[in-house]
Amino acid sequence: MTELDQTRSHIEAVWRIESARLIAALSRMVRDVGFAEELAQDALVAALEKWPDTGVPDKPGAWLMTTAKNRAIDKFRRDERLADRTAQLAHQIASTTTGGFADATDDIGDDLLSLIFTACHPVLPTPAKVAMTLRVVGGLTTNEIARAFMVPESTVAQRIVRAKRTLAKAEVPFEIPQAEEIPQRLTSVLEVLYLIFNEGYSATAGDDLLRPELCHDAIRMARILAQVAPDYAEAHGLLALLELQGSRFSARVTAAGEPVLLADQDRTRWDRMLIRRGLAALAKAESLSEEPGVYTLQAAIAACHARAVTVADTDWRRIAAIYDRLVTIAPTPVVELNRAVAVSQAYGPRAGLDIVDALAATNLMSTYHLLPAVRGDLLARLDRAEEARDAFRLAASLTDNQAEQRLLHARAAAVRG
């Protein structure tokens, strides 16, 4: 790697670390997330132009902040109507130029929390929330987001532009919501991070089962959220869930990229550091609320798997009991399907199949490939071979992920009887 390549790599790393805090602080100053993101991008361009010659400064975050605020002043000075804003920013620059990055902002935690709530504001549709969050909180480029979700770059760019316009048109304030609004608004934030992680953990389309970069970004943003919203149990519950699920990452696929079922995974390859972090986050979540939420309960289920040294050690009755609680607060078909799996492991395949067949009768999951996949497994365990093969083939026809298709066809072929 050349010296120029090393510098560019260093700049990219700095951007991933500093961009969210930079945009958050700028948003507080200019009261416009879209404009703040443009200023941050201008500062990044300046860094790409200058740092290869001058070297990366000792305090790169402070350099980016000062550069961005100088760009803001230049733009405001071209608009005489904003003279007062210019004076305000000029005063801020004078007081923060020589300090470190932390010195350049008054309340970086509040700024970041405000940025997260703004990027996930209910006025935006879910695809726009995801794109905005990855862009302004995750620090990903438009191209990186497009590649991660396998959509055209122009589509992502349009989503981000429209999201900025929508936020501006709705005059969404850059602030932490009022106390009574936070639980509902936090639900939207958690949902976005959960969606990002799940797309990386089990890709909906393409040839690869996993997209590790999305999972890593979701975990990183969940850590930020837990740090800046330390009193909210579900923020820690989501972090626990993502870290515990993420701990299995390297064991979920073979060297050739083929999926490995949970029961067949080499548990020595599970990331013990992530498991420890996940269990600590779960303990924090449980200490903050006597009534665990959706993510905390899912994390408790993941913890049962993480604590089991072998498949045989798994406490399936406890998992089934947790699913019984989960389905009462999140009565969705997906939760009910997962409960069927746990019940089948705890009380036998017939009990699980009854739940699956009842779900199938509702037609709510007629296009969801995991329903016939689970049904195929249960039928195979009941020695109903031909029905099991048909179920696996149906499941393969319902997924666009080629790795999952290959696995499901292989499972159909492996059914004996």
DSSP for 338-392 reads: HHHHHHHHHH-HHHHHHHHHHHHHHTTTTT-THHHHHHHHHHHHTT-HHHHHHHH
Total tally of structural domains belonging to the chain = 3
**72 and 131 belong to one structural domain:** no
Examine the domain organization and report whether 9 and 83 are in the same domain: yes
d(CA 122, CA 119): 9
Instruction: Kindly state whether residue 349 falls inside one of the protein's structural domains.
Output: no
Is 402 domain-assigned?
no
Q: What is the CB neighbour count within 10 angstroms for residue 51?
A: 18
Q: What is the spatial distance between Cα 306 and Cα 249, in angstroms, rounded to a whole number? A: 12
Cα dist. 170→35, 112, 163, 174, 415 in Å? 15, 21, 10, 12, 56
225 and 238 co-located in one domain: no
What is the Cα–Cα distance from 371 to 409, expressed in whole angstroms?
Answer: 15
What residue numbers bound the domain in which 32 lies? Answer: 1-106
Q: Is residue 50 part of a domain?
A: yes
Question: Domain ends where: 55, 83, 106?
Answer: 106
| CA dihedral of residues 379, 380, 385, 386 (deg, nearest 10) | 50
Residues 159 and 258 in one domain: no
Predicted confidence (pLDDT) per residue in 271-289, tens digit: 999 999 999 999 999 999 9
Q: CA separation (Å) from 114 to 25, 100, 121, 217?
A: 10, 21, 10, 19
Q: Is the dihedral of CA 199, 150, 365, 128 positive or negative?
A: positive
Q: Which of 265, 300, 335 is the last residue of a domain?
A: 300
What's the pLDDT tens digit per position in 323-382? 999 999 999 999 999 999 999 999 999 999 999 999 999 999 999 999 999 999 999 999
Residue 310: inside a domain? no
Per-residue pLDDT of 173-226, as tens digits, reads 888 888 888 888 898 899 999 988 987 887 555 555 557 788 888 898 899 899
Q: From 229, 262, 288, give the residue that closes a domain.
A: 229
In a domain, 333, yes or no: no
Asked if 315 and 308 count as a contact pair (C-beta separation under 8 A), the reply is yes
Q: Is residue 354 part of a domain?
A: no
Shared domain for 155 and 166, answered yes or no, is: yes
Q: Are residues 20 and 96 in the same domain?
A: yes
**Six token digits for residue 387:** 């029905």
Question: Are the CB atoms for 20 and 111 separated by under 8 Å?
Answer: no
Residues recorded for the chain: 417
In a domain, 361, yes or no: no
Q: Which of 79, 92, 78, 214 is nearest to 144 (CA)?
A: 214
Which pLDDT score, from 0 to 100, does residue 140 have? 82
- Confidence (pTM): 0.78
3-state percent helix, strand, coil for the chain, nearest multiple of 5: 75, 0, 25
Give the orientation angle of helix 108-119 with respect to helix 3-30, to 10 degrees. Answer: 90
